[in-house]
A and B are shown apart, each in its own frame.
Chain A
Amino acid sequence: MSVDHVLTTCPYCGTGCNFFLQVVDNRLVGIVPCKTDEISLGRLCVKGYNAHAFVHHPDRLKHPLVKDGGHMRQASWDEAYDKIVAEIKRIRDKHGPDSVIVLASAKCTNEENYLFQKLARAAIGTNNVDHCARLCHASTVTGLLTSFGSGAMTNTIPEFGDADCVLVTGSNTLEAHPLIGARIMHAMDKGAKVIVVDPRDTPLSRIAFLSLSQKPGTDIAWINGMINVIVQEGLVDDDFVKARTTDFDKVKDLVRAYTPGKVEEITGIPKEKLMAAARAYATSPKAMIAYAMGVTQHSNGTNIVKALANLAMVAGHLGKESTGVNPLRGQCNVQGACDAGGLPNLYPGYQRVDDPAAKDKFEKAWGVALQDKPGRTLTCAMKDAMIGKIKAMVIFGENVMLSDPDLTHVEQALKELEFLAVADIFMSETAQMADVVLPAACYAEKEGTFTNTDRAVRLLRKAVDAPGEARPDWQIACELGRRLGSKGFDFSSPSEIMDEMANLTPIYGGISFDRIDKELLRWPCPAKDHPGTRILHTQKFTKGLGTFSPVEHAPPAEVPSEEYPLILTTGRNLFHYHTGTMTRRSPMLERLSPEPYVEVNNSDAKAHGISEDDRVSVSTRRGTITLKARVTDRIIPGSIFIPFHYAEAPANRLTNAALDPIANIPELKVCAAKIEKA
């Protein structure tokens, strides 16, 4: 009998808590928090405590499957690989390499994502590689790259505990990033002023110093309004603005029109509250901004992110302890999947594919000619599939059939494809549509690294064997690369892959498995003797001077109408994670939140004759779903909220695929809807 406690990293949100998996004879029996972990402090959320529960689930995929006459049948790995390689070659030869796209995964490791993009770029010959960061923080990457030169959290998770003020917007932190929410509460216990701006009443907003409810889709108005108050009341950090930034005048002129009265008109936030919030933020010595998808998932998401960057620069809250602009990344490795180059326009470490020097470097390292034209984004690829420009998709661990906007459209797009291969741990809604399905190993069954939301590169350590014939994704990517006739896919361990990635990626230059086995390192970590970087932009911004970008309020792509009078917004709850493939197979989590629901304000419910627990149907221009009503005062009148975890009532049947023009992120947070008793 063997008993082990294997230290590893949580597979759920981007906080990156470490814990021990308790293993008895190759079986997970429990989870013990790691008391010496700097991030989690020996605490977990309910998802973390149940992170072992889905691993041995009988639904796990155990053998490769091939579609044969409309039915899936078991196949050998050889047959599955041969089929994928033959189809990719056939389609590439006929339609060119850009007719193929590889979807990387925010649930796979850095090493795996590095291989996925290498597979697309070096083995298939296209920059068509993207992943679900497109749906969550694409606008953070584009927005903060413009403002600061780096699209990641400027500060770290532990610093929240020492802030004097935390401005939280578009983030239900306690439910979606519970251990970061806990840090914010520690600050609150020490007297910090917490300001929450959200159309929903969240567990954090209910105990906050100030809670502001804006109409969904009016964020730039209140942010510009706050900047205006700061300017009018002489609270600008002039020294910082003068020494560290450029183009302030443009913003100063623009925000003058955003008077508290006008902002109230647009957003519904009372002017006194807006002014109080602006004062509290600007005058606190250490003030942090935290935000998530309530900011990014808009058709002007990039501009909202830039507006937040403007706000932080005006107040000089950057480059110091417990300050900064902090996007909270939603998945265990969405930060890392971006870092590792799982994006159509960027090589690993945010090196542009259209930069000749970067292209030259990767061509030399990989020994192939590369394209300098950025590839297609995930959201555009779906549109391209509809018109026959994308013919084949290879998807690693993503469930686009639940996570993407306007699912009816996604389903049609996938059906239009000539070939679809999916590697996953369960038979997801997407895998069901595939021609070949490959069984993958989950986080507890492999080695690798995740990069959490505060840029810390954290190890996964193998605790148990994968079920049946399932294999880690890095082995699958290596095998596909080799069989496509490409060199440079002969890795024998994830550690070797990281060494290659570190060699080509300056911000990861000093990262190696040996080092992170014992130390917590955050990128940028350019050299083997570099201690990593906690706070970004301390002396100067990554791009030199911070850039103020004047951005105007614009209404969402779809506004309420007579037929669709309500605003639908979507999000997560505490108990489930994304499309629920893992959490909904975890018994305790499923018991705690077993069914889909729509939150409706008391007054709207009354107007529609809806009572608690009634079955209701919610419709938008794209579809209808039926689910239970939760009548509550936790959402403002005129808006409704649906969590997107539930396949039996998928919120994304309803959502709008209108895209931000720069980031191509869809407007998942706002669309026009109606509700009726079912």
Chain B
Amino acid sequence: MSSPVVQLPDAQLRPLLAAYDASVRVRRRQSFVVLACIVAAVVLSSISAEVSLGKLFANIGNFTSYFGRLLHLDSGALVISDPVEWYWGLGRWLRLLGETLLIAYVGTALGALGAFFLCFLAAANVTPRPWLRIAVRRFCELCRTVPELVFALMFVIAFGLGPMAGVLAVAIHSLGALGKLFAEVVENIDMKPVEGVHATGAPWHVAMRFGALPQTMSNFVSYALLRFEINVRGATVMGFVGAGGIGVDLIEAIRKFYYSDVSAILVLIVITVSVIDTATGYVRHRLIGLEGRHG
């Protein structure tokens, strides 16, 4: 049943084998060097980050028992056994969750509006002045590289504790991220409609409105929705620095060891984020479908 395999004579085979072995050896040596570099980096950073696997294994029981405690009420019963007791603060938490969604929505909307007006200045193909383009790009970079929470910390000083600081932090970060993405969308448009509108003698803003905007709108909305999804997640921790939303109660519950409250709030957050993800995902796929039909 064996298939006929042609065997070369030994004398012919030997140099081929030797060449193969040599090439494998070179690749092995390269992989070994890369691996050695990674191992060295791991060792150095483990020292810097105070990694101790001993501590992890000694305390890994804490991790499982922590989740165990999260799932039990103060009375010692499982949380599922008494949902009313578990969700004693449901009204307050839902209100805070609504505030979280509002922070994410208003922040995303303000950021998207800002990015909408900036992106036409930042796109290489339609920008009215090259130096303006560079300035806007650098500004967007700054806005998205500084973490949201750092902005939130500073805004809390200026605007006081509360959701306003959170909204502004989310808005500035979204402005930076969306400004870049929107500008890339504008750079990819077909320039013929813009030239057509220009040819009628229309000023720059009219050319943008009727030449560029109709081609970009569905992508803008799609990116803004994606950002909203990310911001909902980000807004859940704004409360950690006092900038409003459900994070205020969550960090208090974690710090004060109100275990069942922690699990109740976490479950609410996971459900909310999943619902928002699914809904925005559905709308975004519809939008992409729409674009496919028109273009």
Q: Do A and B bind each other?
A: no
Binding site for B on A (CB under 8 A): none
